A and B are shown apart, each in its own frame.
Chain A
Amino acid sequence: MSKSTTGSAARSSASSGRVKTIDIVNKGLKSRYRKEKRFRVYGLLSIIASAVFLAFLLSSIVFNGYSAFLQTYIKLDVPVKTGMINEQNPRRSDFQGIIKAAIRDYFPDVTERKDTRELYSIFSSGAAFQLREKVLKNPPEGDTTISLWVPADDDVDMLMKGHMKRDVPESERRLSDKQLRWIEKLETDKRIEKRFNTTFFTAGDSREPELAGIWGAVKGSFYTMIVTLVLSFPIGIAAAVYLEEFAPKNIATDFIEVNINNLAAVPSIVFGLLGLAVFLNFFGMPRSTPLVGGIVLMLMTLPTIIIASRAALKAVPPSIREAALGVGSSKLQVITGHVLPLALPGMLTGTIIGMAQALGETAPLLMIGMVAFIVDIPGGFTDPAAVMPVQIYLWADSPERAFVERTSAAIMVLLAFLVSMNAVAVIMRKRFERRW
């Protein structure tokens, strides 16, 4: 634009001889600055808009989810008498019964069958497990009383966190008037309080929100990512080095290049279908496992890693290659001694970004059965497992109010992982970056 204006200006000044070129340039300059200013304002506006959206998203997640890091616990004094614990096999004692007896002890005036059932239900079924663990760890001798902070039921938890209103008609809330009265008694006795929710960070999934945790999914994601990394990093780098440094330039390599670029844009669920058909049905690998999940995600991240690595290799200045060749390096020595070290930060960055992508991926994993409800924390690559985004998906799908906050909390955990992975990528780039 501006070029043509100055061009015509030069011509007209040559013909008339009176109009000074500099005046026309100055006139054009004004509109040029104006344009530049307008352009900058547009850019700024779009950045502000995205920042607002991001802030809104993050704050709504944090606002919804922060309360999941706390959980309501109730203090229960559990009298344990000789005979209550099975002598031969303590594991098989009736811990549920012991807890129930303790609850009845604390509320002696509740006698009717219907009422006791309602009473029990303000405690989580996890109370019995907690007692069991404690007893198995150090078996009591003689008659004692074990003091326990046991988790409250999720409805009580919601009440305590203010997600459920007390001053509405009984039919409009999930706790009865009686249950409210018992809770008030616990409150006056200072036996009910919100504490840090360790369960959320140490447990696997559960049907009971107060017993559900993210740890199983974190470990599942960890094993899956290990498989993905171990497979995709060497394969991706080797492919990139071959294509960039050794492959002859012909139709075959052009074809491969086009395909790699296209694969990067293939919807991820397609990789899941491929995994289902090839790894599960054809090779008969165990379904729902990090092994298969990792392989499927490897297929998905490979194009990203290859493309980023090739870009990193291309960015190594040819002068370095010439310098190394000039003193008598062989081609392989140039690559291993100079090109790879210089390209490595870029390759690592690409890999981490690919891994971060894979970490947040759900669709392909749905196809290979990683949506199953899995309570056990996976202990290896071939144990059934869920991964974090799938866990989020499952919780988001659950009707209980308490799972809503857990969904947001799980998203926060996932985001924390993603942000730290990206931070590692940035640090690595800064650390290994070299000037030339």
Chain B
Amino acid sequence: MQMTAGEKEAREVAAKSDTNREIFLPPERQRVKDGGKPHVSAKNFSIFYGDFEAVKKVNADILSKYVTAIIGPSGCGKSTFLRAINRMNDLIPSCYTTGTIMFDGEDIYGRFTDEVQLRKKIGMVFQKPNPFPKSIFDNIAYGPRLHGVNDKKTLEEIVEKSLLKAALWDEVKDRLDRNALGLSGGQQQRLCVARTLAVEPEILLLDEPTSALDPKATAKIEDLIEELRGSYTILIVTHNMQQASRVSDYTMFYYEGDLVEYAPTKQLFTNPRDQVTEDYITGRFS
């Protein structure tokens, strides 16, 4: 992300004002039906870039159908951990893992695991909206077409359903054939969510999905996450602790590659067990 110095400063100030609030009061969360089973489980799972251990011996279960937030100072390994779940790190030649990480009882890095199939089930939305330079329709239909859906009627249904789920349908239903790059940043990001939903994943990985968006668009994405909670297992990386407290059921706090604390969001924000966690959420460092 390119930022001018001014933007950077403004963002830092904003982040400070967030973290300066001493107490976050996460809302009461309802239990989710059929949720709470371990969907992704990491055991002694480490991720290396060459010699550098970016994520260290993580042991954690991510629970199905709940929203789990990953917070921590920048460079602590949040994205690295998230991208390991759908093997996006395979793109980086120096990156390798030790330990195991399972998805539905299947080793993600197993010898017989097909990463293309895996990514179909574990969809990802990135920090910067990245629609294809194609029409809105083709953006959403891209995944289903890839997986063999060619019938026009079915595709139209999928596109409508996905856009409805991503709360974008009303805004774009009259211009599905327009280039997706003509949408605003927030719309583009919701389009990316819709594109991911169109291949019917089980898990949704969101890597700082709102950091490039204005507050209004951010609120829409947060509402969307709330909508999707209970239907998908959602992991969201965020540097905004208010956001984490607002949208998530569970929160992981990473610090320098270690998973320092992992607890229900309310507990983590109101009664952190670890001193580093407390220092971080009370804004003593960021």
- Which of A's residues lie within 8 Å of B, judged by CB? 249, 317-330, 333, 338, 342, 434-436
**Distance (whole angstroms) from the CB of A2 to the closest CB of chain B:** 15
**Distance (whole angstroms) from the CB of A68 to the closest CB of chain B:** 49
**Distance (whole angstroms) from the CB of B256 to the closest CB of chain A:** 25
> Does B50 interact with chain A (Cβ within 8 Å)?
no
Which partner residue on chain B sits nearest A321 by CB separation? B91
Given contacts A319-B128, A434-B133, 11 further A-B contacts (CB under 8 A): A249-B93, A319-B130, A321-B91, A323-B126, A326-B88, A328-B147, A329-B116, A342-B133, A434-B181, A436-B130, A436-B181
B:32-67 near A, CB below 8 Å: none
Q: Are B133 and A435 in contact (CB under 8 A)?
A: yes
Contact with A along B182-215 (1 / 0, CB 8 A): 0000000000100110110000000000000000
Residues of A near B146 (CB, < 8 A) are 327-329, 333
Given A319-B130, A435-B181, does the pair A327, B93 have CB atoms closer than 8 Å?
A: no
Most chain B CB within 10 A, of A249, A319, A323, A338, is at A323
Most chain A CB within 10 A, of B117, B131, B146, B181, is at B146
Q: List 20 A-B contacts (CB under 8 A).
A: A317-B130, A319-B126, A321-B91, A323-B130, A323-B132, A325-B88, A325-B119, A326-B88, A326-B119, A326-B126, A326-B196, A327-B123, A327-B196, A328-B116, A328-B117, A328-B199, A329-B116, A338-B132, A435-B181, A436-B130
**Distance (whole angstroms) from the CB of B236 to the closest CB of chain A:** 15
Q: How many A-B residue pairs have CB under 8 A?
A: 65
Complex Cα distance A318/B120, Å?
19
Residues of B near A323 (CB, < 8 A) are 126, 130-132, 192, 195
Q: Which of A320, A321, A326, A330 is the one whose CB lies under 8 Å from B124?
A: A326
Q: Are B120 and A327 in contact (CB under 8 A)?
A: yes
Complex Cα distance A350/B199, Å?
37
Most chain B CB within 10 A, of A320, A328, A333, A435, is at A328
Complex Cα distance A328/B144, Å?
10
Residues of B near A333 (CB, < 8 A) are 146
**Distance (whole angstroms) from the CB of A104 to the closest CB of chain B:** 76
Complex Cα distance A338/B86, Å?
20
Complex Cα distance A317/B126, Å?
13
Complex Cα distance A436/B199, Å?
23
Residue tally, chain B, CB below 8 Å to A: 27
Complex Cα distance A329/B114, Å?
12
Q: Are A327 and B116 in contact (CB under 8 A)?
A: no
Q: Are A324 and B132 in contact (CB under 8 A)?
A: yes
Given A249-B93, A333-B146, A436-B181, does the pair A326, B132 have CB atoms closer than 8 Å?
A: no
**Distance (whole angstroms) from the CB of A244 to the closest CB of chain B:** 13
Q: Which 6 A-B pairs have the closest CB atoms?
A: A328-B120, A319-B130, A327-B143, A326-B124, A323-B130, A434-B133
Complex Cα distance A48/B91, Å?
48
- Which of B's residues lie within 8 Å of A, judged by CB? 86, 88, 91, 93, 116-117, 119-120, 123-126, 128, 130-133, 142-143, 146-147, 181, 192, 195-196, 198-199
Given A319-B130, A338-B132, A435-B181, does the pair A326, B123 have CB atoms closer than 8 Å?
A: yes
Complex Cα distance A326/B126, Å?
9
Residues of B near A321 (CB, < 8 A) are 91
**Distance (whole angstroms) from the CB of A322 to the closest CB of chain B:** 6
Residues of B near A325 (CB, < 8 A) are 88, 91, 119
Residues of B near A318 (CB, < 8 A) are 91
Complex Cα distance A342/B146, Å?
19
Complex Cα distance A321/B116, Å?
13
Complex Cα distance A330/B91, Å?
12
Residues of B near A435 (CB, < 8 A) are 133, 181
**Distance (whole angstroms) from the CB of B129 to the closest CB of chain A:** 9
**Distance (whole angstroms) from the CB of A143 to the closest CB of chain B:** 75
Which partner residue on chain A sits nearest B181 by CB separation? A435
Complex Cα distance A322/B116, Å?
12
Complex Cα distance A325/B132, Å?
12
Q: Which of A249, A320, A328, A330 is the one whose CB lies under 8 Å from B132?
A: A320
Which partner residue on chain B sits nearest A325 by CB separation? B119
**Distance (whole angstroms) from the CB of A11 to the closest CB of chain B:** 21
Residues of B near A330 (CB, < 8 A) are 116
Which partner residue on chain B sits nearest A333 by CB separation? B146
Which partner residue on chain A sits nearest B94 by CB separation? A249
Complex Cα distance A322/B132, Å?
11
Complex Cα distance A435/B126, Å?
18
Which partner residue on chain A sits nearest B147 by CB separation? A328
Which partner residue on chain A sits nearest B198 by CB separation? A327
Complex Cα distance A249/B91, Å?
13
Q: Are B119 and A327 in contact (CB under 8 A)?
A: yes
Complex Cα distance A436/B130, Å?
8
Complex Cα distance A249/B50, Å?
14
Complex Cα distance A342/B132, Å?
10
Most chain B CB within 10 A, of A322, A326, A338, A436, is at A326
Complex Cα distance A434/B134, Å?
10
Which partner residue on chain B sits nearest A323 by CB separation? B130
Q: Which of A249, A327, A342 is the one whose CB lies under 8 Å from B199?
A: A327
Given A319-B126, A320-B132, A342-B133, does the pair A327, B195 have CB atoms closer than 8 Å?
A: yes
Complex Cα distance A318/B125, Å?
14
Complex Cα distance A318/B127, Å?
12
Complex Cα distance A328/B119, Å?
5
Complex Cα distance A326/B119, Å?
6
Residues of B near A326 (CB, < 8 A) are 86, 88, 119, 123-126, 196
**Distance (whole angstroms) from the CB of B83 to the closest CB of chain A:** 9
Residues of B near A329 (CB, < 8 A) are 116, 146
Which partner residue on chain A sits nearest B115 by CB separation? A325
Which partner residue on chain B sits nearest A319 by CB separation? B130
Residues of B near A436 (CB, < 8 A) are 130, 133, 181
Complex Cα distance A327/B139, Å?
11
Complex Cα distance A17/B39, Å?
62
Complex Cα distance A317/B132, Å?
11
Complex Cα distance A317/B129, Å?
12
